[in-house]
């Protein structure tokens, strides 16, 4: 976890694999970062794990879910309640289930 980053109340880091969080990242209350699942192509459903990476200046909003193997790009925003199953490019805002691009993130400074 990088400098000036924060995990809000009730964030669940289901860390069966690595979760890397960059600098100046916010993961808001109740978010769920899940690095494990099961292979449903087998009736034995073996455990599979993949790391999650959240890059600098990103924000995972309240109650969002990030699934195994996802990379949240620099400056990206994951809207409240979003379900992220694929990588999120840098400097965009995603939301929904499954998460989709809402718009580019444009800074006003």
What is the tens place of the pLDDT at every residue in 1-46? 999 999 999 999 999 999 999 999 999 999 999 999 999 999 999 9
Question: Is 38 an annotated catalytic residue?
Answer: yes
Residue tagged 């990088």 (tokens): 2
Q: Is the peptide bond before 99 cis (omega within 30 degrees of 0)?
A: no
| Residue 50, pLDDT above cutoff 90 | yes
Q: What is the pLDDT of residues 68-109, one digit of tens each?
A: 999 999 999 999 999 999 999 999 999 999 999 999 999 997
State mean pLDDT over 55-68: 98
What is the DSSP secondary structure assignment for residue 1, as one 8-state letter?
A: -
> In this structure, how many other beta carbons lie within 10 angstroms of the beta carbon of residue 35?
21
Angle at 61 between CA 33 and CA 37, to 5 degrees: 20
* Strand partners of residue 21: 54
CATH code of the domain made up of 6-103: 2.160.10.10
Give the pLDDT confidence score for residue 109 in this predicted structure: 79
Residues forming beta bridges with residue 78, ordered by sequence position = 60, 94
- For range 61-69, the mean pLDDT: 98
Q: Spell out the domain ranges in the chain.
A: 6-103
Dihedral sign computed on CA atoms, order 36, 19, 12, 67 = negative
| Choice among 38, 45, 101, 103 that is catalytic | 38
pTM for the model: 0.95
Dist. CA 13–CA 30, nearest whole Å: 10
- Counting every residue written for the chain, the total comes to 109
């Amino acid at each position: 976890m990088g400098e000036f980053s924060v995990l809000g109340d009730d964030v669940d880091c289901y860390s069966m694999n690595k979760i890397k969080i960059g600098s100046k990242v916010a993961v808001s209350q109740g978010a769920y970062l899940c690095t494990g699942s099961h292979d449903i192509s087998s009736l034995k459903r073996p455990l599979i794990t993949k790391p999650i990476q959240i890059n600098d200046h990103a924000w995972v909003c309240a109650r969002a879910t990030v699934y195994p193997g996802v990379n949240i790009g620099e400056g990206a925003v994951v809207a409240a309640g979003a379900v992220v199953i694929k990588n999120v490019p840098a400097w965009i805002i995603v939301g929904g289930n499954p998460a989709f691009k809402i718009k580019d993130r444009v800074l006003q400074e």
